[in-house]
Structure 1
Amino acid sequence: MYAQATKILKKVLDVDTIYKIGFNWSPMYRRSVGKLIYISKDMYEIKVKIPLNYKNRNYAGTIFGGSLFSATDPIYMIQLIEILGRNYIVWDKDAEIKYKRPARSTAFADFKFSESEIKKIKEEVKINGEFNLIKTLNITNEDSSIVFANLKKTIYIADKTYYAQKKKK
């Protein structure tokens, strides 16, 4: 459903606008309390804000860890789907979050890809048909001086034809 809506909306809106509006209004993402506050035109950078409020405040008065995780969970996969295009299959394969200290204020996460990373992904997929990319980031306060958690994601990327053949086996 979301992929179909995006395809239609791309005819009238930029992809960054579609995702910013789509994520921030999507019921499944809104429950995380996360909000996309910046998306570059090329989708290489996305910034997420996770405010501390009554919806995600835990018993200790800090941001519930599940809120930190769920607000960051889908971002890398969606970025890669848009950056690489529809000739690739992209799936979240593994995720790990390590909490460092309680988030007593708004948290932020900055998801970035570089041109060289995308080039490496394409080269690996061209050679092997598939690739497991490991990305890490810190969930921090606004000026990045306090780290609330470390996120580690493994993202599976495959050539669409290779993936179809692999599924048949």
Structure 2
Amino acid sequence: MYRTLSNIAKRFFTEAQIYKHGFNLSPMYRRSTGRVIEVSGDLLYVKIKIPISYKNRNFVGSIFGGSLFSATDPIYMIQLINILGDNYVVWDKDATIKYKRPAREDVFTEFIFTNEDIEHIKKQVSEHGEYNLVKTPNIVNKDGITIAELHKTMYVADKNFYKEKRKQRANK
């Protein structure tokens, strides 16, 4: 459903606008309390804000850890799907979060890919058919103090390689 809506929206908006507003309007993302606040035109940079509010404040007055995790969880995967295009399969494979201190104010996370990162991913997939990419952004407050450390692993594969791999698994 989201992909179909995105394809229709491409007639009227840039990919960065679709990415930002699509996330912010999506019911599944809105519930995380996160907000996409900045997206570069090439989608290599995304910044989110997780504002503290009555919707995500826990028993001790800080942002609920589940809100921190869920607001950051889908960003890299969707970002990479949009950057790489339809010839690749991208899945979140693993994610962990290590809480360092309570989030008692609005917090932010930046999701960054460089052109070199994208070329490296494409090269690895070209050579091996698939690749596990690890990214480790931090959730920080306005002063840059780390609130939580994220560790994300994404699986990236050539679409044909992935289909063949699934077919082989189904035949076992």
Class of the TM-score when normalised by the shorter of the 2 chains: over 0.9
Task: Determine the C-alpha separation between the residues in 1 that align with 2:73 and 2:81.
Answer: 14
Task: Determine the C-alpha separation between the residues in 2 that align with 1:9 and 1:88.
Answer: 21
Task: Determine the C-alpha separation between the residues in 2 that align with 1:108 and 1:80.
Answer: 20
DSSP 3-state at the match of 1:57:
coil
DSSP 3-state at the match of 1:79:
helix
Give yes or no for the alignment of 1:89 onto 2:107: no
Task: Determine the C-alpha separation between the residues in 2 that align with 1:7 and 1:25.
Answer: 16
Deviates most, 9-18 or 155-164: 9-18
Give yes or no for the alignment of 1:20 onto 2:26: no
Shift of 1:21: 1.0
Task: Determine the C-alpha separation between the residues in 1 that align with 2:130 and 2:21.
Answer: 31
What is aligned with 2:66? 66
Render the CA deviation track for 1:32-72: whole Å, top value 9, x for unaligned: 11000000000000000000100000000000000000000
Render the CA deviation track for 1:71-94: whole Å, top value 9, x for unaligned: 000000011001101100000000
DSSP 3-state at the match of 1:66:
helix
Identity of aligned residues (%): 58
DSSP 3-state at the match of 2:136:
strand
Matches within 5 A, 1:108-123: 108-123=108-123
Task: Determine the C-alpha separation between the residues in 1 that align with 2:49 and 2:143.
Answer: 12
Task: Determine the C-alpha separation between the residues in 2 that align with 1:40 and 1:143.
Answer: 22
What is aligned with 1:135? 135
Residue segments in structure 1 that go unaligned for 5+ positions in a row: none
Residue segments in structure 2 that go unaligned for 5+ positions in a row: none
Under a length normalisation based on structure 1, what TM-score does the superposition of the two structures give? 0.98
Under a length normalisation based on structure 2, what TM-score does the superposition of the two structures give? 0.96
Shift of 1:143: 3.0
Task: Determine the C-alpha separation between the residues in 1 that align with 2:65 and 2:118.
Answer: 30
What residue identity is the alignment partner of 1:136?
T
DSSP 3-state at the match of 2:152:
strand
Task: Determine the C-alpha separation between the residues in 2 that align with 1:84 and 1:48.
Answer: 21
Please list every run of at least 4 consecutive aligned residues from structure 1 whose deviation after the TM superposition is greater than 2 angstroms. none
